Chains A and B, each alone.
Chain A
Amino acid sequence: MKRRVSVCFMAALLIMTALSGCTGGTGESSEDKSSKESTVAESSQSAEASQSTEAAVAGEPVYGGKVVVGIQQDMDSLDPHKATAAGTKEILFNIFEGLLKPDPNGNLMNAVASDYSVSEDGLTYTFTLREGVKFHNGNPVTAEDVKYSLDRVSGLLDGTALISTLSADKGGITSVDILDDKTVQVSVGSANLELIYSFTAAIIPAGSGEDEAAQPIGTGPFSFVSYKPQEGIVVKKNADYWQEGLPYLDEVDFKIVNSADTALLELKGGSIDIYPYLTDSQATELADSMQVLAAPSNVVQALFLNNADDTLKDARVRQAICYALDKDSVNEFVFGGNGAIVSAAMLPTMQSYYVDLNDVYGTGANTAKAKELLTEAGFPDGINFEIKVPANYEVHMQTAEVIADQLNAANIHTTIVPVEWETWLNDVYNGRKYQGTISGITTDLTPGYLLNRFQTESSKNFINYANPAFDETYAKAAASLDLAEKATYYKELQRLMAEDAGTAFISVPPITVAIKQELAGYTFYPIYVQDMSVVYYTK
């Protein structure tokens, strides 16, 4: 089977040098890069990146043209601050920008701000606004707009924080002061190295959050044209975009496809040009007619175990489940071998924070060991185990089907209960009434994001993980203002969670994208975004 899937696992490395940006240093350097080199379509990001996106270097870029991108989810909001769905954020990325924005390497680059600095104590951020940035309605971005946007997301405007990390009562923004036309000073409640990532929150025109009929207006490379529920959203080129030479395309239609199945037919029929959510078998099917690119996603997929369950509260039972799993065959069947097997709540691409724990329980099935542990735990005849799976996620459903057999072999008598997404949210995620569930947790650029939720008292700790040593270490990690020290704590946290088998992590699924032959420049990000500004037609 000849496959042209060029995997660029390394392309989107999260070299977290951006953190040193807190001193303002990297702020400079990414500024340089974005304004000067962006014209060559970020093709100089890294050797691996240009290799993987072969097409990115092949062919001369042509300006103009229209591209139809197939998307799976409808927009949950047109308000960049209220949108929570990953499927919405990845599109709004093209319309809105924050003071800073993520770049393809997982660093932060300056966007609406041209420079920033953080005070020694980490409590004051000072942003300098970039000259000549205009909203899509033609108005220049003022310090007022920035203050309005930051007040809005942090809850200073009406008491309701729209982005919880920036919320005043959670150590976020306590005040936003306009120093002069071009300078805004932000005070925060507590020093936190990772807070800087939250300043990617969209800057919107002052007052547009209260204006009933406001259309989505931002500063991004594309401006909003129209939105039709269940059909899609259309954006057009922002001719005044501050990054010179971008975007290439005149128009992008994000078209909602009926299902992954019809997406394949549409790709073949030519009614969509780019589709970023291919399944493995689809990728094989398209490999000859389209460019098929793959990169790791920012999702950690796991068989989550409810630590408060009567049977599963015994760590030995959870360990037995970990031993019984054959993650290799999940990777093979579900992801065509393109996923990355993990055993911790951290992306392997976050190199300096990730620790490879795949040896602890092995990646293949160790049925004998699993049975032994079950007997030790007082279940010589095995246990009954129910896995609730959100039925709308085909990947998780398929994974469930694959692992059910493996678990059964180890006397873990497994029943798969497919549930609707809303039921899953209510019963599993919020209600925590379940034994096991297969799902994925998504991370942003913050390295501690995935670990944070497993603190005993966290509202997102839906597995009821309770490990005092973990909580203690997490508190130390959060308080640390030294990157190396922070990394050590994060690794320790992953180890702690693997030891008592807090949950059975499985893989980081790949993102597989199909792109029409005539197009080039498609760039992967370590988070879910569809950056259309760098995509172009070749001659």
Chain B
Amino acid sequence: MAYQSIRLFGKKIITLIMTLFLVSVAAFLAFQIIPGDVVTAILGTEATPEREEQLREELGLNDPPLVRYTHWIGGVLKGDFGRSYRYSKSMNEMMPVAELIGDKLPVTLWLAVLSVLLIIVVSIPLGVFWVRSKNRILDAVLNVLTQTTMAVPSFFLGILVTYFFGMVLKWFTPGGYVSYRDDFAGFLRYLIFPAISVALPKIAMTARFLRNSMLTEQSQDYVRTARSKGCSSRRIMYGHVLRNALMPVITFLGMIIAEIVAGSIVVEQVFGLPGVGRLLISSISNRDFPVVEILILYITAVVIIVYFWVDMLYRVINPQISKQ
């Protein structure tokens, strides 16, 4: 058993590393063939042939792709992520990619954390309430409501949130982002609204999922047994059904982490949040390859590592799967 687990663990880790390696090659190669010259992008209409050549040499663009890849990946492994082509750190120095991303990461991270918190805090009670209510009309209303919520694209939700909370109720200033460096409380207060936009469709999804998973649990034999033994329905509900139903929900949350990340990227755009998503979009259009490559690698790494742990967790809970 233990040996098997370790073997499986090792195999998974190797797959993980292989995937990251493939993604790094793909990301690097993709931006070798991307149309548009980074040098023209940087210099714009004021470019002169000499300045272009000088810049190309400075950025190491004259080396063959393989040399550049080895150079780049070697740096990444040593923790040197290269420097942005676009953003300056000082008069003569470009911004190191690590510093740039490190600076934007808290925004996206907190947005994701707040969103996940919102999802958990709202969807679980909602799911439980839904199962407990035997009212058919309420059931239908919740059904339609969640279906509708799931149909709203996150950016439109962002616009609606901006309109109602920002402009009608004036609870926040749209675009008036407060940096986490200046005022952390203000930063979180501003983030609540983007987080609502990210979380709402997922809340509907999770509540539906929890409801179904609880209904399945309820029809299990052990519930009937417990009931026949005279356990209170309350105890059955919270002690057994919910506990058992929550496990797949946690896995489900792990599975939609990629979607939460994707949702954040769009929502950052709507709310003017200087996070990783906005950095990615602007870096793509600026042809700021060092930043794009690292960001792709980074996001992939985060997503597959989350999946990895979710998978492991799942196996610990359901040992049968590991045996298959």
Mark A residues whose CB is within 8 Å of B. 74-79, 84-85, 160-162, 164, 208-216, 227-231, 257-259, 262-263, 265-266, 268-271, 420-423, 425-426, 429-430, 459-460
Q: Check A84/B175 contact, CB under 8 A, given A422-B285, A423-B35.
A: no
9 contacts between A and B (CB under 8 A): A215-B91, A231-B274, A269-B176, A420-B36, A421-B285, A425-B36, A426-B36, A426-B40, A430-B47
Smallest CB-CB separation from B50: which chain A residue?
A160
Pairs A-B, 4 closest by C-beta atoms: A269-B173, A271-B176, A258-B272, A262-B175
Q: Check A266/B104 contact, CB under 8 A, given A78-B90, A210-B92, A211-B92.
A: no
Q: Give the distance in Å from the alpha carbon of A84 to the alpha carbon of B47 in the complex.
A: 9
Q: Does B46 contact A (CB under 8 A)?
A: yes
In the bound complex, do residue A74 and residue B87 qualify as a contact, i.e. CB atoms below 8 Å apart? yes
In the bound complex, do residue B45 and residue A215 qualify as a contact, i.e. CB atoms below 8 Å apart? no
State which of A74, A78, A160 has its C-beta within 8 Å of the C-beta of B91: A78
Residues of B in contact, count (CB < 8 Å): 45
Q: Which of B51, B95, B272 has the most CB of A within 10 A?
A: B272
Chain A-chain B contacts (Cβ-Cβ < 8 Å), number: 128
B residues in contact with A421, CB < 8 Å? 41, 285
In the bound complex, do residue A230 and residue B104 qualify as a contact, i.e. CB atoms below 8 Å apart? yes
Q: Give the distance in Å from the alpha carbon of A74 to the alpha carbon of B269 in the complex.
A: 16
Binary CB contact string for chain B from 70 to 87 against chain A (1 if under 8 A, 0 otherwise): 000000000000001011
B residues in contact with A215, CB < 8 Å? 90-91
Q: Check A160/B51 contact, CB under 8 A, given A231-B179, A266-B173, A269-B176.
A: yes
State which of A164, A214, A263 has its C-beta within 8 Å of the C-beta of B175: A263
Q: Does B143 contact A (CB under 8 A)?
A: no
Q: Check A266/B48 contact, CB under 8 A, given A230-B278, A257-B272, A430-B40.
A: no
Smallest CB-CB separation from A77: which chain B residue?
B88
B residues in contact with A85, CB < 8 Å? 44
Q: Give the distance in Å from the alpha carbon of A268 to the alpha carbon of B40 in the complex.
A: 37
Q: Does B183 contact A (CB under 8 A)?
A: no
State which of A84, A212, A263 has its C-beta within 8 Å of the C-beta of B46: A84
B residues in contact with A430, CB < 8 Å? 40, 47
For the complex with contacts A160-B54, A214-B92, A422-B41, 16 further pairs of A-B residues with Cβ separation under 8 Å are: A74-B282, A79-B92, A84-B44, A84-B46, A85-B44, A160-B50, A213-B92, A229-B86, A230-B274, A259-B272, A262-B174, A265-B162, A422-B35, A423-B35, A425-B36, A425-B41
In the bound complex, do residue B93 and residue A213 qualify as a contact, i.e. CB atoms below 8 Å apart? yes
Mark B residues whose CB is within 8 Å of A. 35-37, 40-48, 50-51, 54, 84, 86-88, 90-93, 95, 100, 103-104, 162, 166-167, 172-176, 179, 269, 271-272, 274, 278-279, 282, 285, 287
Smallest CB-CB separation from A270: which chain B residue?
B173
In the bound complex, do residue A426 and residue B162 qualify as a contact, i.e. CB atoms below 8 Å apart? no
In the bound complex, do residue B179 and residue A460 qualify as a contact, i.e. CB atoms below 8 Å apart? no
Smallest CB-CB separation from B176: which chain A residue?
A271
In the bound complex, do residue A164 and residue B41 qualify as a contact, i.e. CB atoms below 8 Å apart? no
Closest chain-B Cβ to A85's Cβ sits at a distance in Å of 6
B residues in contact with A227, CB < 8 Å? 88
In the bound complex, do residue A84 and residue B279 qualify as a contact, i.e. CB atoms below 8 Å apart? no
Smallest CB-CB separation from A261: which chain B residue?
B175
Q: Check A258/B175 contact, CB under 8 A, given A422-B41, A426-B36, A426-B40.
A: yes
A residues in contact with B86, CB < 8 Å? 74, 76, 229
B residues in contact with A271, CB < 8 Å? 173, 175-176
Closest chain-A Cβ to B8's Cβ sits at a distance in Å of 42
Closest chain-B Cβ to A89's Cβ sits at a distance in Å of 10
In the bound complex, do residue B87 and residue A216 qualify as a contact, i.e. CB atoms below 8 Å apart? no
Smallest CB-CB separation from A431: which chain B residue?
B40
Smallest CB-CB separation from A256: which chain B residue?
B274
Q: Give the distance in Å from the alpha carbon of A228 to the alpha carbon of B44 in the complex.
A: 22
State which of A75, A214, A420 has its C-beta within 8 Å of the C-beta of B285: A420
Closest chain-A Cβ to B277's Cβ sits at a distance in Å of 11
Smallest CB-CB separation from B40: which chain A residue?
A425
In the bound complex, do residue B91 and residue A208 qualify as a contact, i.e. CB atoms below 8 Å apart? yes
B residues in contact with A211, CB < 8 Å? 91-92
B residues in contact with A269, CB < 8 Å? 166, 172-176
A residues in contact with B54, CB < 8 Å? 160
State which of B45, B175, B271 has its C-beta within 8 Å of the C-beta of A429: B45
Q: Give the distance in Å from the alpha carbon of A85 to the alpha carbon of B90 in the complex.
A: 17
Closest chain-B Cβ to A165's Cβ sits at a distance in Å of 11
B residues in contact with A228, CB < 8 Å? 103, 179, 274
Closest chain-A Cβ to B172's Cβ sits at a distance in Å of 8
Smallest CB-CB separation from A216: which chain B residue?
B91
Closest chain-A Cβ to B295's Cβ sits at a distance in Å of 13
Q: Check A84/B91 contact, CB under 8 A, given A258-B175, A269-B174.
A: no
Q: Check A209/B176 contact, CB under 8 A, given A230-B104, A265-B162, A422-B40.
A: no
Q: Which of B44, B91, B271, B272 has the most CB of A within 10 A?
A: B91
B residues in contact with A420, CB < 8 Å? 36, 285
In the bound complex, do residue A262 and residue B272 qualify as a contact, i.e. CB atoms below 8 Å apart? yes
A residues in contact with B173, CB < 8 Å? 265-266, 268-271
Smallest CB-CB separation from A161: which chain B residue?
B50
In the bound complex, do residue A265 and residue B174 qualify as a contact, i.e. CB atoms below 8 Å apart? yes
Q: Give the distance in Å from the alpha carbon of A266 to the alpha carbon of B86 in the complex.
A: 26
Q: Give the distance in Å from the alpha carbon of A426 to the alpha carbon of B42 in the complex.
A: 12
In the bound complex, do residue B48 and residue A164 qualify as a contact, i.e. CB atoms below 8 Å apart? yes
Q: Check A230/B282 contact, CB under 8 A, given A84-B43, A265-B167, A423-B36.
A: yes
A residues in contact with B166, CB < 8 Å? 265, 269
Closest chain-A Cβ to B194's Cβ sits at a distance in Å of 12
Closest chain-A Cβ to B46's Cβ sits at a distance in Å of 4
Q: Give the distance in Å from the alpha carbon of A209 to the alpha carbon of B176 in the complex.
A: 36
Closest chain-A Cβ to B133's Cβ sits at a distance in Å of 40
In the bound complex, do residue A76 and residue B42 qualify as a contact, i.e. CB atoms below 8 Å apart? yes
A residues in contact with B174, CB < 8 Å? 262, 265-266, 269
A residues in contact with B40, CB < 8 Å? 422, 425-426, 430
Smallest CB-CB separation from A262: which chain B residue?
B175
Q: Give the distance in Å from the alpha carbon of A78 to the alpha carbon of B45 in the complex.
A: 18
Q: Which of A74, A258, A460 has the most CB of B within 10 A?
A: A258
Q: Give the distance in Å from the alpha carbon of A210 to the alpha carbon of B92 in the complex.
A: 7
Q: Give the distance in Å from the alpha carbon of A263 to the alpha carbon of B48 in the complex.
A: 34
Closest chain-A Cβ to B94's Cβ sits at a distance in Å of 9
Smallest CB-CB separation from A208: which chain B residue?
B91
Q: Check A426/B35 contact, CB under 8 A, given A230-B282, A231-B179.
A: yes
In the bound complex, do residue A75 and residue B88 qualify as a contact, i.e. CB atoms below 8 Å apart? yes
Q: Give the distance in Å from the alpha carbon of A506 to the alpha carbon of B86 in the complex.
A: 33
Smallest CB-CB separation from B286: which chain A residue?
A422
Q: Check A266/B175 contact, CB under 8 A, given A228-B103, A258-B272, A426-B35.
A: yes
Smallest CB-CB separation from B88: which chain A residue?
A78
A residues in contact with B172, CB < 8 Å? 269
Closest chain-B Cβ to A54's Cβ sits at a distance in Å of 27
State which of A213, A229, A262 has its C-beta within 8 Å of the C-beta of B95: A229
Q: Give the distance in Å from the alpha carbon of A161 to the alpha carbon of B41 in the complex.
A: 19
In the bound complex, do residue A214 and residue B176 qualify as a contact, i.e. CB atoms below 8 Å apart? no
Smallest CB-CB separation from B43: which chain A residue?
A84
Closest chain-B Cβ to A285's Cβ sits at a distance in Å of 12
A residues in contact with B44, CB < 8 Å? 76, 84-85, 425
Closest chain-A Cβ to B13's Cβ sits at a distance in Å of 35
Closest chain-B Cβ to A224's Cβ sits at a distance in Å of 9
Q: Give the distance in Å from the alpha carbon of A258 to the alpha carbon of B173 in the complex.
A: 13
Closest chain-A Cβ to B42's Cβ sits at a distance in Å of 7
Q: Give the distance in Å from the alpha carbon of A259 to the alpha carbon of B155 in the complex.
A: 15
Q: Give the distance in Å from the alpha carbon of A189 to the alpha carbon of B312 in the complex.
A: 74
B residues in contact with A74, CB < 8 Å? 86-87, 282
A residues in contact with B176, CB < 8 Å? 265-266, 269-271
Smallest CB-CB separation from A80: which chain B residue?
B91
Q: Give the distance in Å from the alpha carbon of A270 to the alpha carbon of B170 in the complex.
A: 12
